[in-house]
């Protein structure tokens, strides 16, 4: 049996007719940029997230850059984020000229440890970017409390968490702004790049609309220097078809995760594995199902031998990346994130994954610990 980490082909085949039709409609309309599909997707996602605005952009990285600009973050400012995430979460802070400040992570959810947050706040701190890693929500109650107390902006990096909830509120809708990525492998993935910012703040939304279009509100009149960051109509049309299935697919991911949780519990009880942690206040959407184990290498080899894909998320925390050497962090500074990077292993968990495949994967995991 060959089992991929994610089966985009199976998903496409399950909705092929609607996807193909949506693409052909765009071709037929010959409206490729800034058209009705993008506008409709913005309205649908704003309604879904319960936010006043949604602004489509070219990718999830741009969504963060533009949200940071709209929050007036720039040179001299510090922005606190997690070291255990995809590079873009912090790269974007540096890209607007600000300084990323990393806080260690919570050993249960692998999201920023809110109890360490206040120690990192200085007079230069302007914002916090909590990342809802693997679709598990950060402790937004505490993040918002700290942010309010210190007058900080909060930009949720919800690239991996569209549809997740925290105390009934959708990921992205709790902070000043929230960002999504429609990279093909994300829970709502296009067939190319795409991204979005959601916000309840009229000024932030307006600013991002201007920035994404060369700093212009009216064509050929530019009030500032901006960017070219747009979601094209073909991607928007594809995403609108897939968006109709998002809740169902997220529920299916949760169901697969629950099956793993049950089947792997004995190994976790014996201390051989750490299963993905949960926050009872949150509805997680399992962008990835990430185990932690000291036997990662043996597990990965055994899975590979049987044609089962697995992957390391993430091999190196951001504070130890060469690109951030200038920040001066040392090994040992953020021990929980560093340990997670030596233990984390994602196993297949996607809506189309069959129960027999999960059972096969679990069997391989047990065989490693029994040998
Ligand atoms: C994917 C991702 C991004 C970047 O999104 P792109 O669309 O690839 O630019 C940012 N943050 C996190 C946590 C991500 O997983």
pLDDT tens digits for range 163-172: 999 999 999 9
Burial status of residue 273 (CB atoms within 10 A of its CB: 0-12, 13-18, 19 or more): buried
pLDDT for residue 274: 98
pLDDT score of 48: 98
For ligand 1, mutation pick of 6, 85, 86, 136 (most atoms within 8 Å of CB): 86
* pLDDT, tens digit (0-9, with 9 covering 90-100), for 267-319: 999 999 999 999 999 999 999 999 999 999 999 999 999 999 999 999 999 99
Rounded to 10 degrees, what is the CA torsion of 249, 251, 257, 259? -110
- What pLDDT does 212 receive? 97
Domains along the sequence of the chain with CATH: 8-243 (3.40.640.10), 246-370 (3.90.1150.10)
- Supply 191's token pair: 């067939």
Beta bridge partners of 157: 131, 179
Relative to the CA of 287, which ligand 1 atom is closest? 15
pLDDT digits (tens, 9 = 90+) for 104-148: 999 999 999 999 999 999 999 999 999 999 999 999 999 999 999
Q: Is the CB of 199 under 6 A from ligand 1?
A: no
Residue 371 has a pLDDT of 76
Element (H, E) at 38: helix 36-49
Q: What is the DSSP string of 244-286?
A: TTHHHHHHHHHHHHHHHHHHHHHHHHTTS-BPPP--TTEE---
CA–CA gap between residue 122 and residue 293 (Å, rounded): 36
Q: How confident is the model at residue 262 (pLDDT cuts 50, 70, 90)?
A: very high
Q: For atom 10 of ligand 1, which residue has the closest CA?
A: 88
Contact 62, 52 (CB under 8 A): no
Q: Is residue 216 over pLDDT 80?
A: yes
Q: How far apart are CA 242 and CA 227, in angstroms?
A: 27
Asked whether the predicted pLDDT for residue 362 surpasses 80, the reply is: yes
Token representation of residue 167: 């105390």
Confidence band of 325 (pLDDT split at 50, 70, 90): very high
Q: What is the pLDDT of the chain when averaged over all its residues?
A: 97
pLDDT reported for residue 25: 98
| Token pair belonging to 261 | 């949780």
Of the CA atoms within 13 Å of residue 123, those in its CB half-sphere come to 0
Determine if ligand 1 sits within 6 Å of the CB of residue 314: no
- The reply to whether the predicted model has a pTM over 0.85 is yes
Mean pLDDT of 241-245: 98
What pLDDT sits at residue 309? 98
- 289 and 257 Cβ atoms separated by less than 8 Å: yes
Q: Ligand 1 pocket test: which of 181, 190, 197, 239 has the largest number of ligand atoms within 8 Å of its C-beta?
A: 181
Q: Is pLDDT of 1 > 80? A: no
Helices (H), 127-216: 140-150, 202-211
């Amino acid at each position: 049996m060959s089992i991929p980490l994610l089966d985009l082909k199976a998903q496409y085949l399950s909705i092929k007719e609607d996807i193909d039709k949506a693409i052909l409609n765009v071709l037929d309309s010959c409206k490729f940029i800034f058209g009705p599909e993008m506008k409709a997707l913005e309205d649908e996602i704003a309604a879904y997230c319960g936010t006043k605005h949604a602004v489509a952009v070219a990718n999830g990285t741009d969504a963060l850059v533009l949200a940071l600009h709209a929050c007036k973050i720039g040179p001299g400012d510090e922005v606190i984020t997690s070291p255990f995430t995809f590079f873009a979460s912090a790269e974007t802070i540096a890209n607007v000229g600000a300084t990323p400040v990393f806080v260690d992570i919570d050993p249960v959810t692998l999201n920023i440890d809110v109890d360490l947050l206040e120690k990192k706040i200085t007079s230069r701190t302007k914002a916090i970017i909590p990342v809802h890693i693997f679709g598990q929500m950060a402790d937004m109650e505490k993040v918002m409390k700290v942010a309010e107390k210190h007058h900080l902006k909060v930009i949720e990096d919800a690239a991996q968490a569209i549809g997740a909830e925290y105390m009934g509120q959708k990921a992205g809708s709790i902070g000043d702004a929230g960002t999504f990525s429609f990279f093909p492998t994300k829970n709502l993935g296009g067939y190319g790049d795409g991204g979005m910012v959601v916000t309840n703040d009229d000024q932030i939304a307006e600013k991002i609309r201007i920035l994404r279009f060369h700093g212009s509100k009216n064509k050929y009149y530019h009030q500032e220097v901006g960017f070219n960051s747009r979601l094209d109509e073909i991607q928007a049309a594809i995403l609108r078809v897939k968006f109709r299935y998002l809740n169902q697919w997220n529920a299916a991911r949760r169901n697969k995760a629950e099956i793993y949780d049950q089947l792997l519990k004995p190994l976790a009880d014996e201390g051989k594995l750490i299963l993905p942690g949960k926050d009872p206040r949150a509805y997680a959407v399992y962008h990835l199902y990430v185990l932690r184990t000291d036997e990662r290498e043996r597990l990965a080899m055994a899975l590979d031998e049987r044609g089962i894909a697995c992957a390391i998320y993430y091999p190196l925390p951001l504070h130890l990346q060469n690109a951030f050497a200038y920040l001066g962090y040392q090994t040992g500074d953020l021990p929980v994130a560093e340990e997670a990077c030596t233990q984390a292993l994602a196993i297949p968990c996607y809506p189309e994954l069959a129960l027999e495949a999960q059972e096969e994967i679990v069997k391989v995991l047990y065989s490693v610990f029994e040998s």
